[in-house]
Chain A
Amino acid sequence: MGILDYFRSGSDWSVIKVKEFLNENDPDDYNLVDVRQPKEYESEHLPGAKLIPIKELPDRLDELDPTKPTITY
């Protein structure tokens, strides 16, 4: 399973669509990932988002469930 397998579809969801999706789905049904730097995450992030800085993403893919939709910002 490669990194692209996590981000094949829905790569350009609007904020409204993401909001609807998060409201309608259980946190157990998706991966919500903040790929920014830790300081940025500390300052503000979407509630429930997992911090995985983009440089670390290739090495931490096992922390994401590939069978679930993944939302990143």
Chain B
Amino acid sequence: MKGGIKAWNGLKAEGYPEVAMNYFGAAASTEELVVLAWLLEEATRKLYRNISEALRDQSLILLFHDLAQGEEQHKSVLEGLYMEFAAGTAAAGIEGHRLSQSKGGDLTEGGVRLDEALQWLRGRKERDILEFAVSLEANAYDRYLTMWRLIENERSKRVFESLFRAEKQHLERLIEAFEGTL
């Protein structure tokens, strides 16, 4: 690419692939991988819900409400995958899984802790909030895509493919909204 990354004026991500590997490395099986992904979705849903409640602009409220709904829908997809992979042996579902209990769902998809994100967002302008969300989704897309490439297990690959494609759609909506503030 002419000019290298210095010439690049598009989305950027940060951090090593190992960041995602470290997080998902806690999973001993595909079911557990799904649980960890579900926890990220849940924290991100909470974040977007909080943002939508703090905004005044109706179109942005609707956008973040939709994004929170999107995370909710994706949680449902993951719950379906979990039941499929667990072959009906997980009666308690994802929320009853030991990882759900121990991890607590406080890390968002971009790798930022939910409480820290909420604290940072307090009192910020709408444009800053959108920029933050774009950055968060870009990192989430990067990490899910990286995991999709690294993982060889076909079932696990399906999980990450579903995730990175969803993040790309979220990114497109957020970028459109962000560009509308310029």
| Interface of A toward B, CB cutoff 8 Å | 12-15, 18-19, 27, 34, 36, 38, 40-51, 71-73
Contacts and interface: CB of A to CB of B under 8 A. Distances in A.
A38 to B, nearest CB: 7
B13 A46 contact: yes
Contact of A73 (B5, B16, B139): B5
Contacts of B139: 47
Nearest to B144: A48
Contacts of A71: 1
B5 A46 contact: yes
A15 B2 contact: yes
Interface in B1-39: 1-5, 7-17
Interface of B: 1-5, 7-17, 138-139, 141-142, 145-146, 148-149, 164
20 contacts: A13-B1, A15-B7, A15-B8, A15-B9, A15-B10, A27-B145, A27-B148, A34-B5, A40-B5, A42-B15, A44-B5, A45-B12, A46-B5, A46-B8, A48-B164, A50-B149, A51-B16, A51-B17, A73-B5, A73-B8
A42 B8 contact: no
Nearest to B149: A50
Given A12-B2, A13-B1, A15-B2, A48 B145 contact: yes
A34 B11 CA distance: 14
Contacts of B15: 42
A62 to B, nearest CB: 14
Nearest to B139: A47
Contacts of A45: 5, 12-14, 142
B2 A47 contact: no
Contacts of B1: 13-15, 18, 71-73
Contacts of B142: 45, 47-49
